[in-house]
Amino acid sequence: MKLSSILSVAVFSCVFGIGLLRSDAQDAKKSDERPNIVFIFSDDHALNAISAYGGRLAGTAPTPHIDQLAKEGAIFNNSFCANSICGPSRANILSGKHSHKNGFMRNSEGKGFDQSQWTFVKDMGKSGYQSAVIGKWHLMTDPTGFDYWEILPGQGNYYNPDFIQMDGSRKREHGYVTDITTDKALKWLDGRDKEKPFLLMCQYKAPHRTFSPALRHLNLFDGVNIPEPDSLFDNYENRSGELPKNEMEIDRHFWWVYDLKIRKEEMDGAKLTGTMGPPIEYKRMDAEQKKVWDAHYGPLNKEFIKDFKGGKLSDKDVVRWKYQRYMKNYLGTVKSVDECVGRVTKYLEKNGLSKNTIVIYSSDQGFYLGEHGWYDKRWMFEESFKMPFVIKWPGVIKPGSRPDAMIQNIDYAPTFMEMAGLKSPADVQGLSLVPVLKGEKKDLRDIVYYSYYELGVHRVPQHFGVRTKRYKLFYIPDTKEWQMFDLEKDPQEMRSIYGDESYKEVQEDLVRRYHQIRKDVEAPSYEAHAARRKRK
């Protein structure tokens, strides 16, 4: 066939949308029929704090709009992060690669995420999608490949937050960060080019620490007793000796001012042991905002201090009080996220966009809500390893679906690419979820790989592991310890079965697969990590 004929066929295929997926983003079919994608992404949202997941807090978590999204689409039971920490999880998503491959392994990673590398956003932009990211970014370098961005500096603030503009300047807004992020996202949607498909990444700070609700939600859980996890007073027996060394216990490591919202002037001489922390969010509020804050927390704090000084509270009573304060604040921030999910979906409906727009709700990882006595994330235990993934794709996903497929955040990039009619580069390590979403496959894989590279933050050691649908195995290089769990018999992971003779064959297979998957993903050696720690 002559070259001119070949080109004619290619042009014909592109125009009429019958071409196959192409490796070059520039040649992707450009059609008004390609779906829009709205990716709503929060920070540290545990599955237990989403009612649709049916966990311990199903009757308490204020998530009707996220639940509705699940009813109209699919909610994944086995969704996992590849590295349970904020920045690296976001890098996993953009690159479709594990942390050691995209170069962003820890929150304070050198010069930040290398924006010169491939990301799905860049190819989608070349193919005709217009894109924006608004809200929390946390990758140390400015976004690239987006038509528009407006991001929080670092973790950002809950009240009267600053936003970094595309020219590098900062703009302070008055109000609550989740609401403002949504306002900005909807404004961008209003002003976009209506002739092009779009990708919107609306990314919230909440419910990340310091767990500060919108002022309108401070009273949301007054008089409510939040159910405690069975492992709130975990003694850490039958597992690694590293667990009791962690500095993320609600008991010993929650900060009185920073986390628990009791300012020093309210303590009335009470001998509260532990870290105080700065009143960061309180300092950002204006007089009217502080007035609302003080009206809520003031009487509650006064009552607690009176009981504490009066000797009415045992050590366990204090932990339980901390847990209730933590959970009410955490779930209060979730409430505003859910409200804003509702605002976004209603905007799409009102503007005739809902039928051709894929809406996804996810979070960068899970979070401990008192399980094992903890807050925070990091460990490969289920509460932080699992991340929510709820998706609505009208006309494609069967409403009310609950796929059991094992997925990871490295799968998002190739999924978005296929949704846009594009093909991912060969070095992308994730797998497209589209076959599962369309009902063509039930599973993508039978094992997932996890890595945690931070250097001593909260005294959680580096560890690496694998998980199948029933078993989990991870290795701690610093102490040369293996941990293994039977998630069917021990879903709360209270006893490591590594070395148990009755699991000998399972253990041998998991260890073999662990080493094989590390080889497959080209994970760096433990010695490389050790050398890096010494340089630090």
- Cα distances from 329 to residues 48, 212, 322, in angstroms, run 15, 6, 11
> Mean per-residue pLDDT for 3-28?
39
pLDDT-based confidence at 534, cuts 50/70/90?
low
Q: Residue 533 — very low, low, confident or very high, per pLDDT cuts 50/70/90?
A: low
Which residue has 């662990």 as its token pair? 514
Nearest of 87, 99, 105, 81 to residue 380 by alpha carbon: 81
What digits encode the pLDDT tens for the residues 334-381? Answer: 999 999 999 999 999 999 999 999 999 999 999 999 999 999 999 999
Instruction: Sketch the domain layout of the chain as residue ranges.
Output: 34-211+334-443, 215-326, 452-535
The pLDDT-based confidence of 26 (bands split at 50, 70, 90) is very low
Tokens 């998530």 belong to 63
pLDDT of 459: 95
Superfamily name with CATH number, domain 34-211+334-443: Alkaline Phosphatase, subunit A (3.40.720.10)
CATH fold of 452-535, please? Arylsulfatase, C-terminal domain (3.30.1120)
Mean pLDDT, the chain, integer: 93
Rounded-to-integer distance, Cα 363 and Cα 338, Å:
13
Q: Do 207 and 217 touch, CB atoms closer than 8 A?
A: no
Please report, rounded to a whole number, the percentage of residues in the chain having pLDDT higher than 70: 93
| Residue 25 in this model has a pLDDT that exceeds 60 | no
Cα–Cα dist 390/363, whole Å = 10
| Structure token digits, residue 166 | 């595309």
15 has pLDDT over 70: no
Q: Secondary structure of 291-348 in the HEC alphabet?
A: HHHHHHHHHHHHHHHHHHHCCCCCHHHHHHHHHHHHHHHHHHHHHHHHHHHHHHHHHH
Mean pLDDT across 382-390: 98
Give the model's pLDDT for residue 410.
Answer: 98
Averaged pLDDT for residues 287-299: 98
DSSP 8-state secondary structure symbol assigned to residue 151: E
Q: Which tens digit of pLDDT belongs to each residue from 70-96?
A: 999 999 999 999 999 999 999 999 999
